[in-house]
Amino acid sequence: MKIAVIGASGKSGSVITKEALARGHKVTGIVRDASKDVPAQAQKMTKDILALTYDDLKDYDAIVDAFGVWAEKDLPQHKTSLMHLADVLSGKPNRLLVVGGAGGLYVDPQHTTRVMDTPDFPDTFKPLAINMCAAFNELKTRNDVNWTYISPSANFDAEGARTGKYRAGGEELLVNSAGQSEISYADYAIAMVDEIENGEHIKERFTVVGG
């Protein structure tokens, strides 16, 4: 398959790119800064996410959105960039897969309380969670786009080991056998590429936990 990874020089994007390459897919890493490297064997496209057109993306079976900004003043870009991609891919056959957040997952079967609404959720992460949740809420109204939104566990561990094991769920936060909600970037990348290959969650959000 032909896969484009937006943000391929970032932590999650680079790991997803490497996982897809290891499985024999043709991958292009899209970065906004020409000085940023993408993993070896990947092609590189230098273009800002808001400047991408369908001509840039039409040849890819799947486009992975691993775009991320962290400064509070930039956080609304999570929504504007995602809606730009949705507009570009509106009515098209290509898939859009989003590296999502865990803050908008639910902690109860009734789906009344989100992770970011719980008392222990760190205040420092709330602005990011609020903006990512707003982006997802807009995305899920888009029936004209073949989107999939993959939320990690509460602890999304960049340094965690690649175990090759994960468990997928729906819209409720998952925990492993030790009662921990955590997944490494490497195992998350496995789940992402599995979803690209198998297409089991078209127009759905789902979550994954390690182990």
> Could you read off the pLDDT of 64-116 as tens digits, one per residue?
999 998 888 999 999 999 999 999 999 999 999 999 999 999 999 999 999 99
Residue pLDDT, tens place only, 2-45: 999 999 999 999 999 999 999 999 999 999 999 999 999 999 99
pLDDT tens readout for residues 124-172 = 999 999 999 999 999 999 999 999 999 999 999 999 999 999 999 999 9
Which DSSP letter does residue 39 get?
Answer: -
What is the crossing angle of helices 185-198 and 11-22, to 10°?
Answer: 50
Homologous superfamily in CATH for domain 2-210: NAD(P)-binding Rossmann-like Domain (3.40.50.720)
Q: Could you tell me the pTM of the whole model?
A: 0.96
Contact present, 200 and 146 (Cβ < 8 Å): no
